[in-house]
Structure 1
């Protein structure tokens, strides 16, 4: 068995243990698998949702690619919030989402960051030379072959003609928050993350915003999973796409879906 397959099985087993280990945990709300970039906003949304006396959703964060694979492997989850449409498409093609429950819940912007103490300033336009700005360091990005933030980042760099100059110097992270952490620690002089990630950290600063036309639109779809049996799952999904949930997402810097 491959390491990836073993990891998926262990993840599913851990989720099942969390949900069934004790009666107290079993009484908690729906299990939500959400993109790592939504951590603070989703935690705030879950808290606000529970204030009305409803069971608080259980949140699990990772790269959308990893979450989609966990769902395909049988993870006992109720809702999936992806950072891009292709990974939700993959889950939908497998017949794993409940009909009529998919909706775009948020958007985002893509930015270039540096450590807070850095003096680097760059205009992100065609012909920008990022390799010079990197010096002897590397560009921190979520995996550009699989993770949404990394795929958006690669598309933007290709559009600006900068990908070839940095491709061999990319520090591939498992998700966008791991890429953020590399820049926070000074392990990478530059990184590509979402605007919401940058605003959640005091250890980095934004040195440039990628033009919206340089990459596919950043959309976060949400859907209830077909295997869900928790009645709170649909209620929380509706909360997220409703007025109160949308106001929370905007407060954390997400844009309209």
Structure 2
């Protein structure tokens, strides 16, 4: 009888020990099998981009966001000069995609971009265009002295890179002073394109990429590269960006084979 009592006491002790061990098991360990991965961080990337990039970047937006579900691309398009001014004034932005080295250089000098992220991601060329049904008999930039041309549209040289390049062309050809009274200025290169499409100017100077996306204009002539500085598109992450890593990733995508392919489809070089 005594032996049976001792056996029961031993069994009871083992049972209590097992229960205590189970209760002492860390809560985190008990739930470890049911833990879920936290959702991917959502990032809204604010990109200030040259107006000439509008169609290409709008197309890239869908492709990129599908491949990067945590990233939303938000674009603000305009002339590179005005966008650079906005950045200088503290406008919230993560990435600047410029149509000229000059405007990027200004931000670089003021230490407003991350210098080591700056990269040239594309190029372009200047073309002379007219409305698609126009009978204008012009086949070169030298022909801009034709008296039939009452209005010649170009971007404002002070803020629009395409206008700046156009001025260089006209100065090289000794035509700038001759044509001054006939020049009509657009606030960005897309407005110049609109002037020509609407017939508000007989001809206009835009990028080849702008002419490529318009069904309402035709190209009359292409500027020779030696008439102006190289048309290069630099991009850089803004120094004050709160999404620098995401901005670097998108910039890297623009220089990838896939990014270059899409840009090429829209007339960029």
Provide the TM-score with structure 2 as the length reference.
Answer: 0.81
Aligned to 1:45: 60
Q: Is 1:130 the counterpart of 2:149 in the alignment?
A: no
Q: Which moved more, 1:50-59 or 1:107-116?
A: 50-59
| Structure 1 partner of 2:49 | 34
CA RMSD of aligned residues (A): 1.6
Answer whether contact 2:79 2:187 (CA < 8 A) is retained: yes
1:240 corresponds to 2:254: yes
2: CA distance, partners of 1:233 / 1:95: 17
| Partners of 1:89 and 1:119 in 2: CA distance | 42
Query: What's the secondary structure of 1:220's corresponding residue?
Result: strand
Aligned counterpart, 1:17: none
Match of 1:97 in 2: 113
Contact 1:134 1:190 in 2 (8 A): no
For residue 40 of structure 1, report the CA deviation from its aligned partner: 0.6
Q: What do the CA deviations read for 1:178-203 (whole angstroms, capped 9, x no partner)?
A: 11100000000010000110111111
8 Å Cα contact 2:140-2:220 kept in structure 1: no
Shift of 1:161: 2.3
From 165, 182, 202, give the equivalent of 1:169.
182
Cα displacement (A) at 1:120: 2.2
The CA deviation at 1:36 is 0.2
In the alignment, the residues of structure 1 paired with residue 144 and residue 267 of structure 2 have an alpha-carbon distance, to the nearest angstrom, of 26
Q: Using the TM superposition, give the Cα deviation of residue 134 of structure 1 relative to its aligned residue in structure 2, in angstroms.
A: 4.2
* Aligned positions of 1:126-165 closer than 5 A: 128-132=142-146, 134-135=148-149, 137-165=150-178
Q: Say which of 116, 122, 127 aligns to 1:111.
A: 127
Equivalent residue pairs, number:
227
Contact 1:29 1:232 in 2 (8 A): no
Encode CA deviations 1:83-117: one digit per residue, 9 max, x unaligned: 00000000111101113100001000100011111
Decide whether the 8 Å contact of 2:42 with 2:70 is kept in 1.
Answer: no
Superposed CA deviations along residues 129-187 of structure 1, whole A, max 9, x for unmatched, are 3132543x211111023310000001111112222221121111100001110000000
- Of 82-91 and 226-235, more deviation after overlay is shown by 226-235
SS of the residue corresponding to residue 182 of structure 1 reads: helix
Q: Deviations over 1:9-31 (max 9, x none)?
A: xxxxxxxxxxxxxxxxx955210
Q: How far is the alpha carbon of 1:209 from its aligned partner?
A: 0.6
User: For 1:227-249, what per-residue CA distance to the aligned partner results, in whole angstroms no more than 9, with x for missing partners?
Assistant: 11114211111111122111111
Number of the residue aligned with 1:211: 224
The normalised TM-score by structure 1 is 0.84
Q: CA deviation at 1:42?
A: 1.0
Q: Deviation of residue 213 (structure 1)?
A: 1.1
